[in-house]
Copies of this chain bind each other. A is one copy, B any other.
Amino acid sequence: MKEIIFLNTIRKVLSNTEYLGDDCANLKELGIAVTQDTLVENVHFSMKYCNAYQLGYKAIVVNLSDLFAAGAKPEYISISLSLPPDTTEDFIHDFYKATDELAKKYDFKVIGGDITGSEKIVISICAIGKTKNRNISSRAFAKEGYTVIVTGEHGSSSAGLELLQSGKFNEKFINAHLMPEISSEFSEEISTKTSKPYAMADSSDGLADALFKIAESSNVTICVDFDKIPYEKDLEQFDYKKKILFGGEDYKLVASVDKTELEKISSNLYTIIGTVEKKESCPLKIKTKDKIIKIKDLENTFNHFKGD
């Protein structure tokens, strides 16, 4: 993966790398967490499959999800749009209609950004959340004995994308892909009711990826019981195990939390799927009915689940 090589190069070149590592930068001195995500047309989305309202919705929640993964409360959002010459006023109207509705729902303010020309649509959003009086997560905070939980259901977004690409329709899955529900309530509770360190990430790049990154950053092994991972029953029509673990873009939360701390959080907001163990040769172990799959390297893991 070129991205990893590039990130290593960046770490080598920069004199100060203390703020790199998590999806959000936790700027303690200012009491804020900051995240920035960019969506590029035909890489992250296609206007064949969504409208401007759905695009605006997704571009915003992708960033809110990063703040929620940190345990921060969204406060300000800056939006930079690069747009082709044929962009219409209706596009802008609908994109910002979604933005405004989310601003009301999650209580944040839009603080500007810019509009520039470009061949393809590029949306770059910077989101700022408050961290004051909150317990803020880090990928590196998982500890042996911690409980591993997820919010929501997994794999639906990937099924939605497959349906869109094949011209089929199923509202549930397509909505999960185009307008994912994010886990603000769990984030609010864990960051305001707990006090011990916890590790949290969102499942933007897939559930296995989030678990893997937490385990690697925390120097532990995470052991997950596959059968405990919640998913929509109809997903079994698809290559569902792969979608649940590697699908991506569900934007649900994945956390490793102290057991007693977890009890402070409303139990309807999460599902326990595993535990944090002492570091073994692999960062991630997934138990299925008849075997334990050890994941050493995410890239080559797909095959383990084919026809499993």
What is the size, in residues, of chain A's interface with B at 8 Å between Cβ atoms? 67
Bound: A112/B7 CA distance, A: 10
A22-38: CB near B (< 8 Å → 1, else 0) gives: 10010100111011111
**A119's closest neighbor in chain B, by CB?**
B120
Cα separation A30 to B10 with both chains bound (whole Å): 29
Q: Which B residues touch A17, using CB under 8 A?
A: 110
**A124: B residues at CB distance < 8 A:** 36, 38, 80, 122, 124
Q: Pick 30 A–B contacts, CB within 8 A, sort by A.
A: A9-B93, A9-B96, A10-B92, A13-B96, A16-B109, A18-B109, A22-B112, A25-B111, A27-B128, A30-B30, A30-B31, A30-B32, A34-B76, A34-B111, A35-B78, A35-B112, A36-B80, A36-B112, A36-B124, A37-B114, A38-B80, A38-B116, A38-B124, A40-B116, A42-B119, A43-B82, A78-B126, A119-B120, A122-B124, A124-B124
Within 8 A of B (CB), among A135-187: none
Asked whether A96 and B5 contact (CB < 8 A) given A78-B25, A82-B122, A122-B122, the answer is: no
**Which of B21, B76, B119 sits near A119, CB closer than 8 Å?**
B119
Question: Chain B's nearest CB lies how many Å from the CB of A89?
Answer: 5
Cβ-closest 6 pairs across A and B:
A124-B124, A25-B111, A126-B126, A19-B111, A13-B96, A40-B118
Question: What sequence of 0s and 1s flags, for each residue 66-97 of chain A, a beta carbon within 8 Å of any chain B beta carbon?
Answer: 00000000011011101101010100110011
User: Across the interface, do B19 and A112 meet the contact criterion of CB distance under 8 Å?
Assistant: yes
Choose from B93, B109, B117, B126 the contact partner of A13 (Cβ within 8 Å): B93
Tell which of A99-107, A189-197, A264-272, A286-294 binds the partner: A99-107
A233: interface (CB < 8 Å): no
